[in-house]
Structure 1
Amino acid sequence: MKKDKKFAIILIIAAILIAIVPLFALKGAEFGGSDDAGSQMIEEIHGEYTPWFTPVLETLIGGEIPGEVESLIFCVQTGIGVGIIAFIMGRFVERRKNEKNIITVEGK
């Protein structure tokens, strides 16, 4: 097996472990968002916490966004980010291939 293939397999296994281990290590734990944790911490320290900003979508619909819609928006945002990162990485790979081809053609 090539060195690069072994390294890729190790990285995939590490990513899977990073995703799965917390689910089993913290049984019964409640996984919440950072915004909720931050507002709770501020309330503990300061006492009275009033948000100074209301999200645009909450203003438009006149209430809180349902959890399913929040998850959908988060997933769409994640997909867009992954697409941008994959595009940039693809450009770097193709640029490297083109540079190697140019060097090979010029070297002949």
Structure 2
Amino acid sequence: MKKNIIIAYVLPLVLVVLLAIIPLRLNSGAEFSGADSQAEQAISTIAPDYQPWFSSLWEPPSGEIESLLFALQAGLGCLVIGYYIGFNRGRKQAGR
């Protein structure tokens, strides 16, 4: 029983932590920028006189708040997907 708990819970947790730590250790001096900033740099290199045709309605006051909002969006998405999967699983088990 204890071995099953380790395999089911502890091993995936360790793998997730390793997936987060290993890239940071391998590229300790690297800059991890987002796709938006990389696309902006590529566009400015290709067409320096390009003018964007759209601007954001609201710009977060700092990068930390932007990261917080992104994390909240990801968390809410996970909650919705988890609820849907759990609801369908419960409905299938209740039908048996």
Q: Normalised by the shorter chain, which TM-score bucket?
A: 0.7 to 0.9
Aligned to 1:52: 53
Query: d(CA) in 2 for partners of 1:70 and 1:57?
Result: 11
Partner SS, residue 53 of structure 2? coil
Q: Is the 8 A contact 1:39 1:49 kept in 2?
A: no
Correspondence 1:1-108 to 2 at 5 A: 1-2=3-4, 6=7, 9-58=10-59, 65-99=61-95, 102=96
Query: d(CA) in 2 for partners of 1:8 and 1:20?
Result: 19
Give unmatched runs, 5+ long, in structure 1: 59-63, 103-108
Moved more, 76-85 or 41-50: 41-50
Q: Which has more radius of gyration?
A: 1
Aligned to 1:61: none
Q: Deviations over 1:54-106 (max 9, x none)?
A: 11113xxxxx632122122212212211111111121132123213xx3xxxx
In the superposition, the TM-score normalised over structure 1's length comes to 0.69
Query: d(CA) in 1 for partners of 2:11 and 2:92?
Result: 24
Cα separation, partners in 2 of 1:56 and 1:39, compared to 1, 3 Å: same
Query: d(CA) in 1 for partners of 2:6 and 2:87?
Result: 21
Q: How many pairs align?
A: 94
Give unmatched runs, 5+ long, in structure 2: none
Kindly, what percent of the aligned residue pairs are identical? 33
In the superposition, the TM-score normalised over structure 2's length comes to 0.76
Q: Is the 8 A contact 1:43 1:49 kept in 2?
A: yes
